[in-house]
Structure 1
Amino acid sequence: MSVIDTKKWLKETPDQLDICRKLKAYFPHLKTGEITKHLNSFGMYKRIGKLDEWLEKMEKESIYEFVKEEEQKLKEEWNGPNIPIFIFPSDMNNRKIETEYKGRAGLAFHDKLFLFLSLNIVKSNIKSVLIHEYHHVCRISSVSKKEQDFTIIDTVILEGLAENAVREKMGDHHVAAWTTFYTDAQCERFFERIIYPQRDVSIESRNYSQLMYGTGLYPNMLGYAVGYYIVKNYMNQTGKKTIDLLGTPAEEIIKRN
């Protein structure tokens, strides 16, 4: 199983509840409304406009085929799992997605992956978000710890590894904007003074998302930026590549501090 033909779903009906009813089999423990809310929070369209233009772009530029080809390359290189990939329009009214995120967003689970794409998306930006999200899938399947048991440290390293995979495969100019928000010295201080003292914060804690996204009094995209810095530094020190670190425990990667 690879790229699901969500174009067909959208042609039948773009209504979000109808779409999420089709996804119910992939989220057996969630209600349809809960699926909708969760996908919305990660960038899926709410009220869709220009659907015909979006579908035309997907078909004219063979976007679904492109995603399938790129996923197959990653799957072979990283010995990754075979999962369904769902492509939907992004929330094109979300200015952050359109500008800072370059018209795309993604969401990964251990057994599925979602891409939310804007009407103005270009293939290089699709490739970078696919690398990032599919790396999450491979990382989660490679470590012994279950995702529900992740602490803030596990997710900081998860995000850092994924974006360093983008850097490794595509170069510095294709990494996310948040990788440049802070200097190395700032990231080091953030890790020592904010992240590490709260290293046992669990995925269920409200403070977990605040630390990762840098909401409230925390610096913007705190956990992501720190994770990128830590992993890049570790890779430079050890000479290890993405594939070498897929199953490396987060605790080992942060030992360099």
Structure 2
Amino acid sequence: MAVVHTLPVLYRLNERLKEQGERKVEIHRDMICDSLKEFFPEFTAEEIQEELLSRGLFDPDEGATISETLMGLEDKKVWKIVQHELNHLKQLWNGPDIPIFIFPLTKHRPIVDGAKVKKNGVSYNNVLFLFVCEELEIVELQALLAHEYHHICRLSYLDKSPQEIDLLDTLIIEGMAEFAVEELYGERSLSPWTKGYSQEECSNLWIKYFARAIHVKDVDNHFPFLYGNEVVGLPKWIGYCIGYRIVRSYIENGGTTDHLLLSRTPSYKILEGSLFKGL
């Protein structure tokens, strides 16, 4: 499988919601989520809808007004660009063949560093979703795909369920993905959270919060460490910054820069070769 051509379904959804707005939640779910149940056999369409909405999928209220966004994405040849870049990444990283679904990003999105977020992605073991808006630049789209597809490659190596993945794995997954983006598209394509905190700040927070928690399993339990929880003292995006610094310092200390070998290096070995060893 490859990039799924979601445009026809999205245009039909747009038309149906214009005509039958009173059933918008059901129509949105039926046309988008029912066909995804093969990738999430343990979840209902309602649960899939809730999950994707939480990740950035446009909501049912927006469905009747997405035609302009769809035309903008089509004019930018987003589906074609993603397919071309996917072919390149698969060959470069010897990555798995998985389906990629592209949907408009919700307009109800946060503001980061003074600007509205223009993209988001989410990777599961067997499928990848990209949520994008028409203002997205091509290099931003490429970086988003590379970041998420690298997750797919790393998850394929780990071969663990989300419940089996520990915090160290999650930190390394994020750090590796950003290192890959940096190598492919340059430092300017790095996410801002990679430089949000100094090495000293990261080291102190590692000692205080992370070192004793690296074996905590289940990705749902990792969210406070990744996104932050200021109530308990974890600043925003700290886990992403620490993950990148672990991988970057491992490489600077002589670790492999070969992406195929790096993606197949155990997490504990990367930690041992980093500046965070022994902290």
State the TM-score, normalizing by the size of structure 2: 0.86
- Structure 1 vs Structure 2 CA RMSD: 1.9
Instruction: Quote how far apart the aligned CAs of 1:144 are.
Output: 5.0
Please give the alpha-carbon distance, in whole angstroms, between the structure 1 residues aligned to 2:122 and 2:171: 16
- Cα distance change, pair 227–147 in 1 and its aligned pair in 2 (3 A): same
Residue 167 of structure 2 is matched in structure 1 by 152
What is the count of residue pairs matched by the alignment? 256
Return the alpha-carbon distance in structure 2 between the equivalents of residues 10 and 30 of structure 1.
Answer: 22
In structure 1, distance between residues paired with 2:112 and 2:201: 25
Contact persistence 1:190–1:226 (CA under 8 A)? no
Spell out, residue by residue over 1:118-148, the C-alpha distance to the aligned partner (whole angstroms, 9 max, x if none).
1311111111110000000000112354443
**2:155 corresponds to which letter in structure 1?**
I
For 2:254 and 2:116, locate their aligned partners in 1 and report how far apart those are by CA, in whole Å: 30
Q: Distance in 2 between matches of 1:34 and 1:28?
A: 11
Distance 1:212 1:32 in 2: 27
Corresponding residue for 2:3? 3
Distance 1:22 1:246, change over 3 A: same
Q: 1:109 aligns with which of 124, 131, 135?
A: 124
- Of the three residues 245, 263, 266, the one matched with 1:229 is 245
**How is 1:202-241 mapped onto 2 (pairs within 5 angstroms)?**
202-203=217-218, 206=221, 208-215=222-229, 216-217=231-232, 218-241=234-257
Contact 1:143 1:248 in 2 (8 A): no
**For 2:105, which of 90, 94, 97 is the aligned residue?**
90
Runs of 4+ in 1 over 6 A off after TM superposition: none
Q: 1:99 to 1:28 in 2, by over 3 A?
A: farther
> Match for 1:139 among 154, 165, 172?
154
TM-score (norm 1): 0.93
Equivalent residue number for residue 44 of structure 1: 57
The answer (yes or no) to whether the contact 1:101–1:177 under 8 Å persists in 2 is no
CA separation of 1:118 and 1:99: change in aligned 2, threshold 3 A: farther
List alignment gaps of at least 5 residues for structure 1.
Answer: none
- What is the percent sequence identity of the aligned residues? 32
CA distance in structure 2 between the aligned counterparts of 1:98 and 1:182, rounded to whole angstroms: 15
Tell me if structure 1 keeps the 8 A contact 2:56–2:105: yes
Among 120, 129, 139, which residue is 2:135 paired with?
120
Aligned pair 1:54/2:80, yes or no?
no
> 2 CA distance for matches of 1:178 and 1:156?
13
SS of structure 2 residue aligned to 1:41: helix
Whole-angstrom distance in 2 between the partners of 1:91 and 1:196: 36
Computing the radius of gyration over CA atoms, which structure comes out larger, 1 or 2? 2
Superposition deviation, residue 97 in structure 1: 7.2
Structure-2 separation of matches of 1:117 and 1:30: 25
